[in-house]
Amino acid sequence: MTFTTPYGARYKHLQNMLEQPHLLIAGTTGAGKSTLINALMYTALFQSPNDVRFVLIDPKGNELIDYVDLPHTERHCHSFESIEKTLADCVALMDKRYKLMRARREKIYSETDFYIVIDEYNFIKFRCSKRTETNVKTLAMQGRAAKIHLIIATQRPTSDVIDGCIKSCLPSRVCLRTATRQESKNVLDCFGAEALPRYGEAYYQTPDTMMKPTLCSVPYYSQEEIDKQVNFWLAQMQTKSA
């Protein structure tokens, strides 16, 4: 995706996060994970609306509801059954894309970026079936070339949630304030996130900045701004169907 507007220049780290194969977002309750997810989705819609689709895994059922009716949102799910089925279907989509790539002799899928946004990954880890966790890890390991990207958020960045497979497959991570030094180390492999301000700042780490995460701001978009963006795309959808 290409970002060329002044908005992209203002928050270049958001652009960079969306360009990563996958992204892990961690932090204590109320630190701003949902705010950052909103900023990423807002940015993707603002910059590349024709080249992005979302699947929203929302265990609480109310964190990602602003985007439910968008034409870009393929699914919004929150029940055990719907989450398990949706992630299985995402693996099937990935396999279908690889089949198309082989037929076209492509190394990288040439069409739409597909973002699977998972809020509260710890819910999947401990309350969904083992097969569902396996599907998440399959997407993390194999989704990159198929342009299937995971954005995984958790308020419980403990070693049993962020295990070795997740850490190795999601080397790009955003760590907001953590409750303990150990949680900071679990996410970033270094201390520091436990001392961040309550809101507004995070450490951002990519494979290029291992052990030297970058301090960045987490932009806040008001409900009014989000509604304006969503209503614009709903109006566009209605215009096309008229």
State the pLDDT at residue 242.
53
State the pLDDT at residue 118.
96
Strand partners, 25: 153, 174
Residue 7 pLDDT > 50: no
State the pLDDT at residue 222.
85
Percent of all residues in the chain with a pLDDT value above 70, rounded to a whole number:
93
Give the whole-angstrom CA distance, residue 218 versus residue 196: 12
Query: What is the mean pLDDT of the segment spanning 190-200?
Result: 91
Query: What is the mean pLDDT of the segment spanning 9-23?
Result: 85
Three-state secondary-structure class, residue 166: helix
How many CB atoms neighbour CB 115 within 10 A? 23
Query: What is the mean pLDDT of the segment spanning 193-204?
Result: 92
Angle at CA of residue 46, ends 41 and 47, nearest 5°: 100
Read off the pLDDT of residues 91-136 as tens digits, 9 standing for 90 and up.
Answer: 999 999 999 999 999 999 999 999 999 999 999 888 899 999 999 9
CA 202 to chain CA centroid, Å, is 15
State the pLDDT at residue 43.
87
CB 172 within 8 A of CB 20: yes
Q: What is the mean pLDDT of the chain?
A: 89
Q: How confident is the model at residue 1 (pLDDT cuts 50, 70, 90)?
A: very low
Give the whole-angstrom CA distance, residue 116 versus residue 136: 10
| Stronger pLDDT, 4 or 67, i.e. the higher one | 67
Q: How confident is the model at residue 181 (pLDDT cuts 50, 70, 90)?
A: very high
Query: What is the mean pLDDT of the segment spanning 39-51?
Result: 84
State the pLDDT at residue 225.
86
